[in-house]
Amino acid sequence: MAPVFLVGMMGSGKSSVARRAAELRGATAVDLDRRIAVIAGRSIAELFAEAGEARFRALERAALASLVAEPGFAAREIWVATGGGTVVDPANRAMMAANGSIVLLDVPIDELCRRLREDGGVRPLLGEDPAGSLGALWRAREAAYREHARVVDGVGSAEGVAVRVIAEIMGS
């Protein structure tokens, strides 16, 4: 099976689902945000604060390009959890489409807000009005999320969503 790129809003479960799907399939999982943080030696929140979104997106593009350029990447089963905004760059969408399958984890805004409240992590683009910010981000990114993607309901446990994504990819 070719690589699978999970896309979706922050809080949609991309990292958890990638890990669980990889476990179920005996494959590898990669978290693109973690890869960026390791390469840069800073957290995502620090990168946003210090360099701004444009610089972060350039680092994101470079991290994705280095991942897909790894020898044998396209021939391996690898589950890649992308950052919520990875899709805003057309070059990223093209790289993902050329090197594997793209799956959008579709989660309603109210569920995203609930998950993000529970998570408590720093989300640089969330602002003071999480529901309003998430709604605006969704509207701005929806077409990019859906381009080339298969859409899977992202509500439920990581295991349940992973099973649905695997079924979608395997064609059952």
Every domain of the chain and the residues it spans: 4-170
Contact present, 170 and 25 (Cβ < 8 Å): no
pLDDT digits (tens, 9 = 90+) for 36-75: 999 999 998 898 889 888 899 999 999 999 999 999 999 9
Q: Tell me the C-alpha distance between 83 and 8, whole Å.
A: 8
pLDDT given at position 114: 84
In the three-class reduction of DSSP (H, G, I as helix; E, B as strand; rest coil), residue 128 is classed as coil
The two structure tokens encoding residue 61: 């593009």
- The answer to whether the pTM exceeds 0.75 is yes
Low-confidence ranges of the chain (pLDDT < 70): 120-128, 172
pLDDT given at position 122: 45
Kindly report the CATH number that applies to the domain delimited by 4-170.
3.40.50.300
Element (H, E) at 69: none
